[in-house]
Amino acid sequence: MNTKTLNDIGEGGIIQLIQEKGLSRLPSRVKKGIGDDCAVLETAGDTLLLVTTDTLIEEIHFTAKTLPPEALGWKALAVNISDIAAMGGTPQTAFLSIGIKPETEVSFIDSFMAGFQALARKTDIVLAGGDTVESPSSAVIAITLLGDCLPERLVYRSGARVGDNIWVTGPLGNAAAGLFLLLNKKASELSGYESLIAAHQKPIPRLKAGKALGKSGLAHAMIDVSDGIAKDLGHICEESRTGALLQATSIPMSDELLRLGPQVEKSPLEWALRGGEDYELLFTASPANEEKVVSLTTKVSGRPASKIGTITQEDGIWLDTDKGKEPLEPGGYVHFSN
């Protein structure tokens, strides 16, 4: 009998185990199963159906202190929209399941739904169903989001080519620094960092940029930054069978992040590389299209994407710093690691 625990095999091991119990060959109507930001399914029409699902657990992903109910409603939907954006798709329909303690105040649901619907209205998403159940302790929020995309506009993680530039749509590290401010009593007394806290609590999924990049055909591979670029770029490289070299000096960071770092003896670059939850889009594109990427991203998001590195033949992810080239370890939050 196998007495190993889930802690022993880790999140990757669990996914592998689940995958092994499924079909070894997917039917052709499933264009993409496990292993990208969304599953991709054929429909009877011209468009493909995108499906993504995300679960937030109290005490793991949020506490009452880090995410008040309204922000929780917003963020729970935002992280799913971000996965549809990362494929170049358009979100359409959401299903919301909530597990919650019976003694929770009704105002929790009121505020949660205000946050959820504020973002749903902005993005034309319709809530079409779900489930509500009693939970003995922690609150559990699970959202499934459906979207669509024309086949020629879809961007997978697997399309990066050697020599591609690596781009990111906006500054990195803000969400991690915001979480630090929320959790650290002394740091929480510092003023002027509202934008970092907002980045953690109410991330703005880069839907317009994702759609425009998919439509333009400029992006060869794309993923959203949920676990930190060190890890998320790793997924692109793994699926595309390439490596990557990042330039430390090119990583975009906000003025607030650069100011906070030294005040609390933290490295802004460390937050930017491994912090996660930024929900910017990380994508690769041919160096011949550099100007087109800059003008398109400026047009749709008011700021140009930042070129942060190159896709390489050599395996692994490397960071070029003033001290030379060093391997970039993933870091970030790891589920099932004690």
Nearer to Mg ion, 177 or 222 (CB): 222
**Which residues, 6 or more positions from 196, have their beta carbon under 8 angstroms from its beta carbon?**
174, 175, 177, 178, 181, 254, 256, 257, 260
In the chain, the largest separation of any two C-alpha atoms, in whole Å, equals: 59
Helix (H) or strand (E) holding 146: strand 140-149
Residue 134 Cβ, how far from Mg ion at the closest point, in Å? 30
Nearer to Mg ion, 83 or 278 (CB): 83
φ, ψ for residue 156, nearest 5 deg: -90, 170
Residue 39 Cβ, how far from Mg ion at the closest point, in Å? 12
Nearer to Mg ion, 164 or 224 (CB): 224
Q: What is the DSSP string of 73-90?
A: HHHHHHHHHHHHHTTT-E
Residue 200 Cβ, how far from Mg ion at the closest point, in Å? 17
Residue 86 Cβ, how far from Mg ion at the closest point, in Å? 5
> How many beta carbons lie within 10 A of that of residue 112, not counting itself?
24
Residue 337 Cβ, how far from Mg ion at the closest point, in Å? 20
Residue 245 Cβ, how far from Mg ion at the closest point, in Å? 23
Segments of 186-295 assigned E as strands: 221-224, 243-247, 281-285
Q: How far apart are CA 30 and CA 123, in angstroms?
A: 26
Residue 232 Cβ, how far from Mg ion at the closest point, in Å? 7
| Residues lying near Mg ion in the complex (CB under 5 A) | 37, 83, 224, 226
Nearer to Mg ion, 208 or 292 (CB): 208
Residue nearest to Mg ion (CB): 37
**Contacts by residues 249-254 (CB-CB < 8 Å, ≥ 24 positions apart):** 249/322, 250/306, 250/307, 250/308, 250/309, 251/168, 251/172, 251/306, 251/308, 252/168, 252/170, 252/171, 252/172, 252/306, 252/308, 253/171, 253/172, 253/173, 254/171, 254/173, 254/174, 254/195, 254/196
Residue 258 Cβ, how far from Mg ion at the closest point, in Å? 26
Nearer to Mg ion, 37 or 277 (CB): 37
> How many beta carbons lie within 10 A of that of residue 13, not counting itself?
14
Nearer to Mg ion, 61 or 266 (CB): 61
Nearer to Mg ion, 83 or 277 (CB): 83
Q: How far apart are CA 188 and CA 65, in angstroms?
A: 11
